[in-house]
Amino acid sequence: MRTWLAVIWLVVAGVVSARAQFDGPGSPGVSASLIRLFGTNLAFSAQVEYQLLDRANKELIGLPMSFARSGNQLRVEIDLARMRNRGQPDALAQVKPLGMDQLVTILRPDQRVTYQVFPKLKAFVKLPMPSTEIEAFLKPAKMERTPIGQEKMQGFACTKYRVTALDEQGKPREATVWNAPEQRDFPVCVATREATETVIMRFSQLQFVRPEPVKFEPPVGFTECADMPALMAGPATKYMSANKTATKAPAKSSTPTKPKTNSAPTKKK
């Protein structure tokens, strides 16, 4: 049973982890390459709409999330109950009984770790960050911005840029970015493409206030687990027992639900 549940989690976690050029391991759409786009905006919080589109600009995955930054410290909160997933429409049913449908990712390159926090389980896993990722966060990097037009995006008059930066492996990566001068030149929309897939991140409800330090630490009183198998064997198993829940194997064949389609960025009034 535990092996099966571990497989379920890895599949679902993979859905919202690195899929495109500016993404980072273990967190949806978050990497050193991405935060460089924020420029001098070192402290803020925002709501983000994350989308993965196919070659026809049809949504494969849609996921709202909460995002916070304080220097090089990052916090991302997701609730899989809000995820639109055309590829795995039954994914939520596999993790909700485990109490793992809510996840907070805290990136701490200064501590060389990433925390995966599960609020329902009152537990977290501390994972080491790869050295290349740590260096990318802590060292300045070259980035070239080429203006390619003016467009309205997320309700703001924006300058549209083509941005080239180096990723954690030193490879050049490109993104299209809409910067809003009236929002401290913040990139209110970021679009990247790799092969046949496109990732879009739209930022809203921006607050340029430094989040409290406690936001970037595991909650006091939460159980620390050595790894994901330990989390599954301990807090997740206890949660299922206490709530009398159980996971079900996904059906062999299922008809994908029709996703909300909000495709490639378009001008917004």
Confidence of residue 184 (pLDDT cuts 50, 70, 90): very high
Give the mean pLDDT of 156-165.
Answer: 93
Residue 133 clears pLDDT 90, i.e. is over it: no
pLDDT at 267: 53
pLDDT tens digits, 214-267: 999 999 999 999 988 899 899 999 999 999 887 554 444 344 444 444 556 765
pLDDT at 90: 77
Residues whose CB is less than 8 angstroms from the CB of residue 126 and which lie 6 or more positions away in sequence, other chains included: 113, 114, 115, 218, 224
**Of the segments 112-116, 121-125, 172-176, which one has the largest average pLDDT value?**
121-125
pLDDT tens digits, 22-72: 443 344 445 666 778 888 899 999 999 999 899 999 998 888 999 999 998
Give the mean pLDDT of 125-136.
Answer: 84
CA 200 to each of CA 24, 102, 167, 262, 266: distance values in angstroms, whole numbers, following the listed order: 14, 22, 17, 10, 11
**pTM for the predicted model, two decimal places:** 0.80
In the chain, what percentage of residues exceed pLDDT 90? 46
pLDDT at 35: 78
Residue 116 clears pLDDT 80, i.e. is over it: yes
* Domain range list for the chain: 2-243
Give 44 or 21, the one with higher predicted confidence.
Answer: 44
Give 182 or 269, the one with higher predicted confidence.
Answer: 182
Question: How many Å apart are CA 235 and CA 223, to the nearest integer?
Answer: 8
Q: Is domain 2-243 given the CATH code 2.50.20.10 in the classification?
A: yes
Residues whose CB is less than 8 angstroms from the CB of residue 223 and which lie 6 or more positions away in sequence, other chains included: 121, 122, 123, 124, 234, 235
Give 89 or 97, the one with higher predicted confidence.
Answer: 97
Torsion of CA 262, 14, 177, 152, to 10 degrees: 20
How many C-beta atoms lie closer than 10 Å to residue 168's C-beta?
Answer: 20
Question: How many Å apart are CA 208 and CA 100, to the nearest integer?
Answer: 30
